[in-house]
C-alpha cells in the first residue's frame, strides 16, 4: 500500500510578498503624513486664524481709520494755501514745549491733516495738525492707534516681544507643512478619480465623505494662493526675513548697487528702517549715507519738501529729520500703488540727493 505524502503548504510567491511589503510601507507613510497634518492643524490653526483675521483687518486700515479718526484726519475748514512746514514745526514746538519732531507726513488731499511723529516727555506720540493754521487738532500714543494694535496682533499676537514674534513665524512655517501634507493626502490614487479630487462629492450631506471633500477639495484649489500669501509674509519675519534679505542682497535681486546715485555703497552701519517710517520692504535695509558736515546751516523742512517735489516724489510722503550732524533727511513713501514708492536720502546741508531708490530699481525678489 502506497503511503500518500502530505500535501505541501503553498507559500506566497516573491512578487506577492513584495507587493504586501510595498503596500505596508505606503500605508505607514500615509499614516505618518496624516499625523503630521493633524498635529500641524490642531496646534497652529488658532494662530493662523488670528493671523488671517488681523491681516484682513489691517488690509482695510485706510478705510477703517478714515472712519474712526475722521475728526482727526480731516481739517475743519480748508484754507487757500498750507503754511510752510518750518512755520508749522515752530508753532507746535512753541505751543508744546519740550516736543521734539522726528518726522512729518504730507498728503495730497486738501482736506487732509499733516501727521507729525514727535516725542513728548519721552513718549512716542502722533500729532494731527491742521496744515492751514498749524494747530494740533489731536494727538495719540503711537503704540495705541488702530493700525499699531492690529500690526502688533499680526506680528506679535499683541503680547509683544521676541517670543511672540517667533511663535507667529513658527505658525506660518508650519502652515506650509500643513499645506504640503494636505496635498499629499489629497493626491489622487486613481487617474480617473475626479470626484473627491478636484470636485467635491455632495450627494450624501452630513456623511464622512461629504465633510472630507468639503475640506480637501477647496483646500486644494486654495493651496497655491495660501503658499504665496505665507511666502510673501516671511520677508518681514524675525529669522527667515533676515535670511531672505541676505539672499536678496547677495544676489543683487533686492536693491542693486546702481540704485545709489553715487554708485558705491555708503560707509555706514545705519539702516534706513532704523531712522525712517513708511519704507517699502526693499528699502528697509538700505545703508544710509552721511551728510558732509562742515559748519554749514542745515536746510529747512521747506527746502526738503521742495527737493522732493522736484524729484517727483508723489504724495503722501514722509520727511524724516536728520539725527546728528552727519544725519540725512529721508523722504519715504510706501504707496498702495507700488510703482510710486520712493526712498530718498538727502544731505542736510547741501540738499544733494545722496540716494534715490524707486520701484524701477528693485530686483526680482524685491
pLDDT confidence of residue 2: 46
Output DSSP code: residue 129.
Answer: E
Q: What percent of the chain has pLDDT over 70?
A: 88
pLDDT confidence of residue 66: 85
Using the predicted structure, report yes or no on whether residue 358 has a pLDDT greater than 50. yes
Q: Name the pLDDT band for 1 (thresholds 50, 70, 90).
A: very low
Distance CA 143, CA 140 (A): 8
- For 22, 60, 164, 169, the CA distances from 237, given in Å and listed in that order, are 42, 21, 11, 6
Strand 328-333: give its sheet, edge to edge: 136-141, 123-129, 114-120, 100-106, 317-320, 328-333, 342-347, 353-358
pLDDT confidence of residue 259: 57
Rounded mean pLDDT, 73-90: 91
Residues 225-262: tens digit of each pLDDT: 999 999 888 988 889 988 888 888 788 787 756 555 54
Angle in degrees, CA 159, 276, 100, rounded to 5: 90
Distance CA 13, CA 237 (A): 56
How many residues are recorded in the chain?
Answer: 366
pLDDT confidence of residue 270: 73
Residues 302-355: tens digit of each pLDDT: 999 999 999 999 999 999 999 888 899 999 986 777 788 899 999 999 999 988
- State which H helix or E strand residue 250 sits in: helix 240-250
- For 11, 186, 197, 215, the CA distances from 221, given in Å and listed in that order, are 47, 11, 10, 11
Distance CA 54, CA 35 (A): 29
pLDDT confidence of residue 198: 82
Distance of CA 358 to the CA centre of its chain: 18
Residues 252-301: tens digit of each pLDDT: 787 756 555 544 555 555 777 777 777 777 777 777 788 887 667 899 99
Distance CA 113, CA 81 (A): 13
Residues 119-158: tens digit of each pLDDT: 988 889 999 999 999 999 999 988 888 888 998 999 888 8
Q: For residue 179, count other CB atoms closer than 10 A to its CB.
A: 20
On whether the CB atoms of residues 319 and 306 are closer than 8 A, the answer is no
Average pLDDT of every residue of the chain: 84
Amino acid at each position: 500500500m502506497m503511503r500518500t505524502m502530505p500535501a505541501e503548504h503553498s507559500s506566497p510567491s516573491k512578487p506577492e510578498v513584495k507587493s504586501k511589503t510595498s503596500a505596508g510601507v505606503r500605508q505607514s507613510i500615509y499614516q505618518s503624513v496624516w499625523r503630521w497634518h493633524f498635529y500641524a492643524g490642531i496646534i497652529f490653526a488658532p494662530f493662523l486664524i488670528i493671523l488671517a483675521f488681523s491681516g484682513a483687518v489691517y488690509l482695510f486700515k485706510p478705510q477703517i481709520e478714515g472712519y474712526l479718526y475722521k475728526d482727526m484726519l480731516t481739517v475743519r475748514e480748508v484754507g487757500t494755501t498750507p503754511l510752510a512746514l518750518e512755520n508749522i514745526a515752530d508753532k507746535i514746538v512753541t505751543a508744546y514745549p519740550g516736543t521734539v519732531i522726528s518726522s512729518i507726513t504730507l498728503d495730497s488731499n486738501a482736506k487732509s491733516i499733516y501727521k507729525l511723529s514727535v516725542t513728548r516727555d519721552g513718549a512716542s506720540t502722533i500729532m494731527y495738525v491742521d496744515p492751514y493754521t498749524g494747530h494740533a487738532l489731536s494727538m495719540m500714543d503711537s503704540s495705541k492707534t488702530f493700525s499699531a494694535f492690529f500690526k502688533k496682533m499680526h506680528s506679535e499676537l499683541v503680547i509683544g516681544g521676541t517670543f511672540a514674534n517667533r511663535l507667529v513665524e513658527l505658525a506660518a512655517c508650519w502652515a506650509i507643512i500643513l499645506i504640503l501634507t494636505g496635498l499629499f493626502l489629497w493626491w489622487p490614487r486613481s487617474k480617473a478619480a475626479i470626484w473627491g479630487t478636484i470636485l467635491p462629492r455632495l450627494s450624501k450631506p452630513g456623511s464622512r465623505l461629504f465633510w472630507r471633500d468639503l475640506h480637501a477639495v477647496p483646500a486644494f484649489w486654495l493651496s497655491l494662493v495660501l503658499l504665496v500669501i505665507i511666502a510673501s509674509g516671511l520677508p518681514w519675519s524675525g529669522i527667515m526675513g533676515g535670511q531672505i534679505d541676505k539672499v536678496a542682497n547677495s544676489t543683487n535681486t533686492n536693491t542693486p548697487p546702481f540704485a545709489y546715485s553715487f554708485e558705491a555703497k555708503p560707509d555706514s552701519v545705519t539702516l534706513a528702517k532704523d531712522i525712517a517710517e513708511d519704507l517699502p520692504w526693499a528699502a528697509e535695509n538700505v545703508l544710509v549715507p552721511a551728510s558732509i558736515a562742515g559748519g554749514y546751516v542745515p536746510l529747512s523742512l521747506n527746502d526738503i519738501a521742495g527737493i522732493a517735489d522736484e524729484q517727483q516724489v508723489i504724495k503722501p510722503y514722509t520727511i524724516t529729520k536728520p539725527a546728528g550732524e552727519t544725519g540725512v533727511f529721508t523722504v519715504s513713501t510706501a504707496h498702495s500703488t507700488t510703482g510710486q514708492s520712493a526712498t530718498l536720502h538727502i544731505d542736510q546741508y547741501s540738499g544733494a540727493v545722496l540716494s534715490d531708490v524707486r520701484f524701477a530699481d528693485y530686483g526680482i525678489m524685491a
